[in-house]
Amino acid sequence: MDRNVQRLDMLNGGAVYGVDTHKVLRNTYWLLALSMVPTVLGAWLGVATGALAHMANGPAVLLFFVGAFGLMFGVQRFRNSSIGVAMLLGFTFFMGLMLSRLLAVVLGGYSNGSSLIMTAFGGTAAVFFGMATLATVVKRDLSGLARFLMVGVLIAIVASLINIFFLQSSALMLTISTAMTVVFSLFVMIDVKRVIDGGETNYIMATLSIYLDLYNLFQNLLVILTSLTGDRR
């Protein structure tokens, strides 16, 4: 059934067309919490071994896109079975491994690196709880805002790639990260509200969407904090 029709349908005791949206949201939050475990393990392994620390930007970007999109395809393919949960946890482990490149730079290059990481984590958690709460009180349909923000994400990806390979501008990087912090904060609200409204009834896919919001939010917050308050060794 068309998602827009579902969103316009009145919620009846937390159910949309026989789907218990409260249960979907609860399962989403539990799986989201569980997904943090392989993310941390992947990040720790990457930092401890330095497996990706010396990889050039080109191969790293290629590995990221191939690995991330391949695993996301697997999650989508098996979203209605327990295999989908395993694929999602494998995806979050991979994302933690990829995150280790940024973490290694922050920990190795800044004397307050650990503090910066914890501050970014705390900021991400605060934004999540704030936006998730806001999603429960916002009544209007946010699909138009979601499309607008997605255009912004695509522009930011292109700008980031140009900056990585050609410009290497710290000012541009900070500008992009600031904009993306706002964008992904709003996406947290949008994706949580989509579950509440019955627009997403599969908790595995809902978890994937919110996880990606938080992952990108954390990365961009860390870049901003490092740029503004990082104490180089």
Residue 190 domain boundaries: 18-229
Which among 142, 114, 127 is positioned nearest to 200, based on CA atoms?
A: 142
Lowest-confidence pick of 87-91, 122-126, 158-162, 217-221: 158-162
Report yes or no on 10 lying in a domain: no
- pLDDT for residue 202 is more than 90: yes
Which among 157, 36, 59, 40 is positioned nearest to 100, based on CA atoms?
A: 40
- How many C-beta atoms surround the C-beta of residue 180 within 10 A? 24
Predicted pLDDT of residue 53? 76
Predicted pLDDT of residue 57? 77
Count of domains for the chain: 1
- pLDDT for residue 164 is more than 50: yes
What are the tens digits of pLDDT across the range 120-148? 999 999 999 999 999 999 988 888 888 99
Structure tokens at 68: 């991330």
Report yes or no on 151 lying in a domain: yes
Predicted pLDDT of residue 41? 97
